[in-house]
Amino acid sequence: MNIKQLTIKTVALFAIVLLTVISIQAANKPTLNRVEPPFWWTGFKNPSLQLMVYGERISETKPEIKYEGVELVTSSAVENPNYLFLDLRLSPNVKPGKFEITFKQNGKTIVTTTYELKAREKNSSQRVGFNTTDVMYLIMPDRFVNGDPSNDSMPESLEKANRANPDGRHGGDLKGIQDHLDYIKDNGYTAIWVNPVLENNMPDISYHGYSTTDFYKVDSRFGTNADYQTLSAEAKKKGIKMVMDMIFNHCGSSHWWMKDMPMKDWINEYPAYKITNHKKATVQDPYGSEIDSKEFTDGWFVPTMPDLNQRNPYMANYLIQNSIWWIEHVGLDGIRMDTYPYPDKQMMSDWTKKVMDEYPNFNIVGEEWNTNPAAVAFWQKGKTNPNGYTSYLPSLMDFPTQNAIVQSMNENDGLNRLYETLALDYLYPKADNLVTFAENHDTERFFSAIGENIPKYKTAMTFLMTTRGIPQVYYGSEILMTGFKRDGDGALRKDFPGGWQGDQINGFKGVGLTAAQLDVQQFMKKLVNWRKGKDVIHNGLLKHYYPTNNFYVYFRYSEKETVMVILNLNSEEKTLNTSRFAESLKGFTSAKEVMSGNAVNDLNNIVLPAKTSMILELK
């Protein structure tokens, strides 16, 4: 081998070694995969923003931000080197715009990402949440309308569509809801609570939405984040508020972070999980033990729902910011929080306070599935609790009244239950702000629960629309959809007829419905629309009289108007002598019955047909 050949060979070998070293260095260079929240806004009362940065060995870098009004206060590495938490402080005068976050190692830029601060919509902080003027329509999006069949089964989704499976994905989506906003509006509803729409990329039973796998992304089988924004905007044009279903207690076991968690205590009871004891009283009990409370709070809801540790301050910040992000991004008018007692109660107090500080007219309703009013009242803002717990939650789902509605229709002298449940309203700081309902996605269909009795159904709906609180109606109730819990959750969440191409029955257009269904649909439409314009129902006082002879009589009244409601479960025509109600009838001589339009000229003795209730506008 001559010198020239040796030189060439040496140079080639050196080049190979150099390329190998460069490749190794590149492979070992920190990477950036995601930043959450993905963007933020200017103009909040709270100037703090915490970014969760994720990427291979990203903690080995030093981040830098150069943008007027944005201060990088701290950069915190945690147990997992693939995470950094950046604490930013935004000045009151910071301007909307984009800026670079540069991640450096040994003084050299390794990776750069662009972050945006958006301008908030005008008067965003003053948005008015759902309230007593509203009637809320609850929709399970997978089961309402399939507006875009092309997204039924997405390539990245673990579970594909199978409408034949009661527990499978059926194809309903955000486009389907948007396409039927006129139906919702025409039937009198002024707010829609949509069951969770965030990504649930689980292998099975993912349709219900309660196993979140990405907190910042709408499930692609429902649509996109932009579709969610469009739905909200179109709803607002029609006077319909948007309520988002959220879950802080748990995520789905297929959530992206479950493969690479920031720290050991990100999830409770991991990896050797325990199921929660479901003993909700343990977090309210003034005599309770720490172990009982821990087993309730830290246990997993089910094996596929890892329990989030809200005592971890990074987790707490993540969830709080996520909720505010969705309020701004979609333009929400309310939040329904799932399994409210299960997360850490102090964090839940902090969360509600921070949200309500930013949006003082907003509303949040929590799910405390308990038929004991004292247990529900514990969580409402303004309640003085023996254990010193302070809550800032404005509203709760009124499960005690829901239970009373069902029982009142199934028991002898059942109307007494309604009276006695409302008589306990002194337990609540603000009973008017409770969300009342006869059924939801977890309960038996109301029409089934009362033996498919139409007069009782109408009586219960009359009560729901005229008593105190914010009524909620479950999709399909207006066409008497049925289902028993014993047959599985899928039986409670059947497809709305007419929501899929080829459906022989169309509840939206009235095609194929029975005479009874059409009658009830029109009854509900008239009742809900009447309520929409009645300030005396929204804001008036309530006075009721103990039920006698299967009559329950109460009055909604204000300085301007009085409405008399008679709930009647008698199986034959009866005459109601009204002398007992003299204190409420003083000065009135006649009335107009709302549903029939008939005049009532004798208020002393009112004739009621069998199983017929009345709403009387007094004159």
Please list the active-site residues.
338, 367
E strand map for 47-143 = 48-54, 62-65, 70-77, 83-90, 97-105, 108-118, 136-139
Spatial separation of the C-alpha atoms in residues 611 and 370, rounded to whole Å: 30
Residues 6+ apart with CB under 8 A from 520: 454, 457, 458, 478, 479, 480
Half-sphere exposure (CA, 13 Å, Cβ side) for 18?
A: 6
DSSP category for residue 239: T
Which residue, 468, 323, 451, 459, is CA-closest to 395? 468
Q: Reduced to 3 states, what is the DSSP secondary structure of residue 243?
A: strand
User: d(Cα 194, Cα 441) in Å, to the nearest integer?
Assistant: 11
CA–CA distance, 479 with 239 (Å, rounded to integer): 23
Residue 170 backbone phi and psi in degrees, to 5: -110, -20
Extract the tokens encoding 428. Answer: 């609540």
Q: Tell me the CA distances in angstroms from 481 to 78, 321, 324, 337, 463, one per residue in order.
A: 51, 38, 35, 25, 20
* C-beta of residue 387 within 8 angstroms of C-beta of residue 374: no
Non-local CB neighbours of 90 within 8 Å, separated by 6+ positions: 40, 42, 44, 47, 48, 49, 69, 70, 71, 117
User: Which distant-in-sequence residues (6+ apart) come within 8 Å of 411 by Cβ?
Assistant: 417
Structure tokens at 5: 């050949």
Query: Reduced to 3 states, what is the DSSP secondary structure of residue 500?
Result: coil
Pick from 254, 257, 247, 225: nearest CA to 159: 254
| Distance, C-alpha 64 to centroid of its chain | 37
